[in-house]
Structure 1
Amino acid sequence: MEKRIERIKEALHEARYKLTPQREVTVRVLLENESSHLSAEDVFMKVKDKYPEIGLATVYRTLELLNELNVLDKVNFGDGVSRYDLRKEGAQHFHHHLICIHCGSVEEIEEDLLTDVEKIVTRDFEFDIIDHRLTFHGVCKLCKGKEGNTDA
């Protein structure tokens, strides 16, 4: 975790920002809950446990700054709530998600499934791609296994 915090500190420094104590505790919470897809309010509640004097606005500003610096990504799984997802180290693109419409589970796909699609879009549409996001909505294997449920 310390190495990732150091790299985030370097990214902030390159953009002329500092890793303040408030930013550091926010980053630590995100790292500790990396697979949880926390909302800003979730992050705030966890940060407040560690740093009681922090305000919600500070957490929001930190999340937006980290999003601007591509340290994390803001995602929405169709429920109207923005969630924050740390970018995997060395990843050129945002990872993909499988969202179950029954139980709401979110599974991550680390493999970049769109390499060929990007080449086609770049070639045929003369479009320079910076990033992409892919989200599949469906029924997870656990829900499919319950009572033989196979449809949405």
Structure 2
Amino acid sequence: MNPITNISQQFAAQNYKLTPQREAIVKVLLDNEEEHLSVEEVYMRVKSSYPHLGLATVYRTLELLCELHIVEKMNFGDGVARYDLRDCDHAHMHHHLICNVCGRLEEIKDDWLLELEQRLEAEYGFSVTDHRLDFKGTYNTCKRSGCKGEKERKAVS
């Protein structure tokens, strides 16, 4: 199914309308899925199509998308809220590898926690409805090259 059609149906199921402005915001997220955009980044990209669209509208739309479980609001430790589309084909959010040195972010689409969820259900009677896991560390290439991370570069500047 077309992602926009699917999202439109999710809006309608909750008695909301996917307006052209909201659709433009969703398209920006779809077109930039790998980038985990902030509110400001979404705003700058959608502004070319809708120059009169305000930052507050983008913010409210992203918050609504979070409420409808279409996107996930995330923070990767840099103090910036970022938005990530939820994958309709998976019950849970994907996971992330975050390098402490270079800041590179990589997604893990496989759900490695299914066995743990089943164990939680069996042992504790707890049914997991969602989870998110971020792994923070350092890539071997960053260790070997001695590259400085964003934090260290800013401190040196």
Contact 2:102 2:147 in 1 (8 A): no
Tell me the SS of whatever aligns to 1:5: helix
User: Partner letter of residue 22 of structure 1?
Assistant: Q
How far the C-alpha of 1:148 sits from its partner, in A, is 9.7
Tell me, which stretches of 5 or more residues in structure 2 are unaligned? 149-157
Residue aligning to 1:137:
136
Q: TM-score, normalised on structure 2? A: 0.88
Count of equivalent residues: 148
Residue deviations 1:77-125, cap 9 Å, x none? 1112111001112110000000000011100000001111112222223
Contact 2:95 2:132 in 1 (8 A): yes
Q: CA RMSD in A?
A: 1.8
1:29 alignment partner in structure 2: 28
What runs of 5+ residues in structure 1 fail to find an aligned partner?
none
Counterpart residue identity of residue 47, structure 1: V
- Identical counterparts, % of pairs: 51
Compared CA separation, residues 141 and 51, structure 1 to 2 (3 A)? farther
The residue type paired with residue 80 of structure 1 is: G
> What is the rounded CA distance, in whole Å, between the counterparts of 1:147 and 1:17 in structure 2?
51
2:21 is aligned with what amino acid?
Answer: Q
Distance 1:137 1:27 in 2: 28
Who is 1:70 aligned against?
A: 69
**Structure-1 residue corresponding to 2:15:** 16
Distance in 1 of aligned mates of 2:99 and 2:37: 17
> TM-score normalised to the size of structure 1?
0.91
Which runs of structure 1 show a deviation greater than 3 angstroms over 4 or more consecutive aligned residues? none
State the SS of the aligned residue for 1:97: strand
In structure 2, the CA distance between the partners of 1:148 and 1:52, relative to structure 1 (3 Å rule), is: closer
Q: Report the AA paired with residue 59 of structure 1.
A: V
1:100 aligned partner:
99
Quick one: structure 1 residues 62 and 117, their matched pair in 2 at CA, closer, same or farther if it must change by over 3 Å?
same
